[in-house]
């Protein structure tokens, strides 16, 4: 083989190697992404069935129930339009409370319960995760529009 052919083979192998490494890196990043969904989107089946995602909203007052094992907690998360039941086994954050914003990360079970691996609570009196605030605002606007349409139809 001539020196020129050797260089071309080397460059070709280098390009193939960089391409394979890039494909592996993108594949790894894609498998670690967890998208945010509101309870309304989950109930509309927009959330991925067999994939980890984040669910956010407000903890519905009166729904926090601890199981007998002392570590498992069930509670409802709402965006003021729809509600999803969340089950979490572990220690909840200190700032977790009813009526406050929460973002959970986990999977939706076949039974319709969201099984959380992680629960994040707001950190001060004024803070709410941006995704939760947007979801609540959207649900509020849609609720106002629906109620106006209902009132208009009955008049």
**Binding residue ranges:** 123, 127
Let me know: does 52 contact 106? Beta carbons within 8 Å. yes
Vertex 66, ends 63 and 72: CA angle to 5°?
Answer: 115
Vertex 139, ends 134 and 145: CA angle to 5°?
Answer: 125
Instruction: Enumerate residues 6+ apart whose C-beta is below 8 A from 86.
Output: 55, 74, 75, 76, 77, 104, 106, 113, 114, 115, 116, 119
**Which residues are annotated binding-site positions for heme?**
123, 127
Give the C-alpha separation, 71 to 27, whole Å: 35
């Amino acid at each position: 083989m001539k020196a020129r052919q050797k260089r071309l083979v080397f460059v070709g192998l280098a390009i193939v190697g960089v391409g394979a490494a890039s494909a592996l890196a993108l594949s790894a990043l894609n498998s670690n992404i967890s998208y945010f969904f509101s309870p309304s989107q989950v109930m509309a089946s927009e959330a991925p069935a067999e994939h980890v995602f984040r669910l956010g909203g407000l903890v519905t007052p009166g729904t926090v129930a601890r199981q007998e094992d002392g570590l498992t907690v069930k509670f409802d998360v709402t965006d003021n339009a729809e509600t999803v039941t969340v089950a979490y086994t572990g220690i909840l954050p200190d700032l977790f409370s009813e009526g406050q914003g929460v973002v959970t990360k986990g999977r939706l079970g076949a039974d319709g319960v969201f099984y959380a691996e992680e629960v994040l609570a707001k950190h001060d009196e004024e803070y709410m995760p941006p995704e939760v605030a947007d979801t609540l605002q959207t649900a509020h606007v849609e609720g106002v529009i629906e109620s106006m349409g209902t009132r208009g139809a009955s008049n």
